[in-house]
């Protein structure tokens, strides 16, 4: 799903959650609208090692500033 396209087409009528996998910087425009919460869709796949998950989580934290 292209969260930037969805956020742009629906303006302030929609809040979005999820929609990312490994593309954190690509979703910044949607996040900057203030109506998008970036998180992994569904659950973390079993083949993702813990170090990779921590890396992803650190990058997501940098993006959202929390």
Tell me the residue range of the domain where 46 lies: 3-64
pLDDT at 51: 95
Tens digits of per-residue pLDDT, 37-53? 887 777 888 898 999 98
- Total domain count, the chain: 1
Q: Given a cut of 90, is residue 8 above it in pLDDT?
A: no
pLDDT of residue 21: 65
Residue 17 pairs in a beta bridge with 37
Q: Are 41 and 19 in contact (CB under 8 A)?
A: yes
Report the 10 Å Cβ neighbour count for 47: 6
Is 0.95 surpassed by the pTM of this model? Answer: no
Structure-block tokens of residue 66: 């929390």
């Amino acid at each position: 799903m292209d969260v930037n396209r969805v956020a742009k087409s629906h303006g302030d009528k929609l809040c979005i959650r999820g929609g990312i996998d490994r593309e954190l910087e690509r979703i910044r425009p949607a996040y900057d609208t203030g109506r998008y919460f970036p998180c992994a869709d569904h659950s973390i796949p079993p083949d993702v090692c813990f170090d990779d998950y921590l890396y992803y989580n650190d990058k997501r934290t940098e993006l959202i500033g929390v």
